[in-house]
Structure 1
Amino acid sequence: MDEQIHEPEGKVYLSPPRLCLTLPLPPGINQQYATVNGHRVSTQVARRFKRDVHSLLRRLEQQGKLSETLRFQFQQGHLALLLDFYFATPLRRDLDGGLKITQDAICEGLGLNDNRVVDIHLMKHIDPLHPHLYVELETIPDWQFDKEYVLLT
């Protein structure tokens, strides 16, 4: 839902459509894949993380907090993804290890192609008592690729 922000000079700005989530920490990169019969496959813990994200998105939809209009807006535009990790300790995990699995889980759960994500912000904090991941997915209504690199289709 667009929210109006009134500036003192009388200008009105609409904030872009946004989805905010709090998720469990995704598994680290070393816990995401295993080799089985020479093939790289997702581990049970990685599949469980994705299922948990999909379940959360379905619950939000059932509660009316994730509308078809918002999904449509995400499908039409380019996207920014903010991931704010709250780890139990400062140095045990790499900041970027949970990026791809989280991006995939959210985009799959929303029916989006993750190639629509053009802006990513990662942050690392410490919360030893409640490790978690705060996520914001937002449309970028005015995104343009460099004009000198026009793709011919």
Structure 2
Amino acid sequence: MQEQPTGKREELPKLPPCIRLTLPLPPSINEQYATVDGRRVSTAVARRFKKQVQDALHQLERQGLLDETILRSFRQGYLALLLDFYFTTPLKRDLDGGLKITQDALCDGLGLNDNRVVDIHLTKHIDPLHPHLYLELEALPEWQFDQEYVLLS
């Protein structure tokens, strides 16, 4: 016996806010900082990567894929970060060398504190002809730590 349609549309679950970007590979850790007059400073290569992240975020805004509603959800909850690195060779670069600069550039560009990131996934792929970084930043509306603690002073 077949069920008769009720005329009601089944609502799909709402997906958490997420942005997706494809970027150039971030500089290796050895290319990110230089010592000038005894101080560590960002290199031109690191500053250029951060600018590329900013430009990509502005492009999402122009496309209507990054709006105030998404930004609000990023600011209110915790975040998950997925980074897929596509390197030219399998063993030349460490997987985690581009994590911090990418996380900092992304969170700075969105006006977020990177301490909101509670879940990180890193994957190394090989693409000798088109090295790049694919990333996703997702709001985690249901995130909760295993145990909540109250600080007693």
Q: Same fold (TM over 0.5)?
A: yes
CA distance in 1, matches of 2:64, 2:71: 12
Instruction: Say how many residue pairs are matched.
Output: 144
Structure 1 gap ranges (5+)? 1-9
- Residue type of the alignment partner of 1:62: R
Task: Report deviation, 1:59.
Answer: 1.8
Deviation at 1:63, TM superposition (A): 2.3
CA distance in 2, matches of 1:24, 1:152: 46
SS of the equivalent of 2:45 reads: helix
In structure 1, the partner of 2:105 is 105
Larger radius of gyration: 2
Q: Output aligned runs, 1:24-103, within 5 Å.
A: 24-103=24-103
* Alignment RMSD (CA, Å): 1.6
User: 1:38, 1:99 → 2: CA distance?
Assistant: 25
Q: Which residue of 2 aligns with 1:125?
A: 125
The separation in 1 between residues aligned to 2:68 and 2:148, in whole angstroms, is 35
Note the alpha carbon deviations across 1:76-115, whole angstroms, 9 max, x for none. 1100000000000000000000000000010011110100
List structure 1 runs of 4+ shifted beyond 6 angstroms. Answer: none
Q: Which amino acid aligns with 1:127?
A: D
Identity, % of aligned positions: 72
Amino acid in the other structure paired with 2:146: D
Structure 2 stretches of 5 or more lacking a match? 1-9
